[in-house]
């Protein structure tokens, strides 16, 4: 059996990378929505961060990235 030509392999890998990027973006969106729910429940980004044991900047950045993506169309997670 002959191996696939390199151009076909590159196309296949590019398609896989796009699928994975779409999955990562969807997961980041769901996570940010959950973080926003946490802010609504607990009151502040800092309270959510404390609850999760992560920095408030990580929570804030995830939420802001999500809001930018939703406002401006499709930004990637790269």
Give me the residue label for tokens 């408030």: 56
Lowest mean pLDDT among 5-9, 63-67, 71-75: 71-75
- Enter the tokens of residue 42: 């607990």
Q: Read off the pTM.
A: 0.81
Give me the residue label for tokens 């401006």: 72
pLDDT in tens, 18-27: 999 999 999 9
Average pLDDT over residues 57-75: 91
**Cβ atoms of residues 47 and 56 within 8 Å:** no
| For the chain, domain boundaries | 6-72
> Residue 69: what pLDDT?
95
Distance CA 44, CA 24 (A): 26
Q: What angle do CA 18, 19, 25 make, to 5 degrees?
A: 85
Average pLDDT over residues 51-69: 98
Distance CA 62, CA 58 (A): 6
């Amino acid at each position: 059996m002959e191996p696939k030509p390199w151009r076909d392999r590159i196309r296949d890998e590019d398609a896989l990378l796009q699928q994975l990027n779409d999955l990562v973006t969807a997961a980041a969106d769901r996570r940010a929505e959950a973080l926003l729910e946490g802010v609504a429940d607990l009151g502040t980004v800092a309270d959510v961060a404390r609850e999760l044991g992560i920095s408030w900047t990580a929570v804030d950045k995830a939420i802001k990235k999500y809001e930018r993506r939703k406002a401006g169309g499709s930004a990637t997670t790269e």
